[in-house]
Chain A
């Protein structure tokens, strides 16, 4: 069983569209994260939720709205997509905020805006 799964794996869409990426973890972790990896391969944290509560919001445009219906799921909705949103988006989870044992990452969603 995949520990952290993201869907879809690939997403190609036009500028101006609205799209969602879903993430689920079956590890029983309390904390989940969204990271963005751009074309230069820099990995930057975007959001983090702990038990459905937003605890990290890293100056991300408000076109990006995370939602956590329960602690096993963290979705990312993006409105009015722009070319610069093209990137690979990684979901991750940790046992709790602080993640002593480290993070478990999903395999990523490659978003291409055309």
Chain B
């Protein structure tokens, strides 16, 4: 079962920042937070991941709270092409890990003109 809780849907105006929240209150110390998105009819796409510190890449920023029980994915300037389902996933990394990504329901982000 997915270990995360996300709102089912959100709207965002084009050009504005989209802030997608995720709760993972049962996260353990060696579990990372991953974000993927799925644009309609395509395969999921990796966005970003983090453990404790905030992370930024060319696609997005990831803000993880100090207690690590929640995080926020930030798309700084949302475009219509960012309309997708966004999945927040927690997963353990380490030796012997079989690498199983468990997807929840995700948040459907609708970017509006």
Contact = CB atoms under 8 A, between A and B. Distances in A.
B43 A108 contact: yes
B85 interface: yes
B42 A108 contact: yes
A68 interface: no
Nearest to A106: B43
Interface residues of A, number: 28
B98 A56 contact: yes
Contacts of B53: none
Contact of A48 (B93, B98, B103): B98
A31 interface: yes
Interface residues of B, number: 23
A104 to B, nearest CB: 7
B35 to A, nearest CB: 10
Contact of B99 (A4, A42, A98): A98
Interface in B86-100: 87, 93-95, 97-100
Contacts of B87: 43
Which interface residue of B43, B44, B100 has the most chain A CB atoms within 10 A? B43
A108 B43 CA distance: 6
B102 A108 contact: no
Contacts of A55: 98
Interface string A55-77: 11000000000000000000000
B46 A103 contact: yes
A87 interface: no
A110 B39 CA distance: 15
B97 A97 contact: yes
19 contacts: A31-B99, A42-B103, A43-B87, A44-B103, A45-B100, A45-B101, A56-B98, A92-B43, A94-B99, A98-B97, A99-B99, A100-B93, A102-B34, A102-B46, A103-B36, A103-B101, A104-B46, A105-B43, A107-B43
Closest 10 CB pairs of A and B: A105-B43, A102-B46, A43-B103, A98-B97, A97-B99, A99-B99, A98-B99, A105-B44, A90-B43, A55-B98
Interface of A: 4, 31, 33, 41-45, 48, 50, 55-56, 90, 92, 94, 96-108
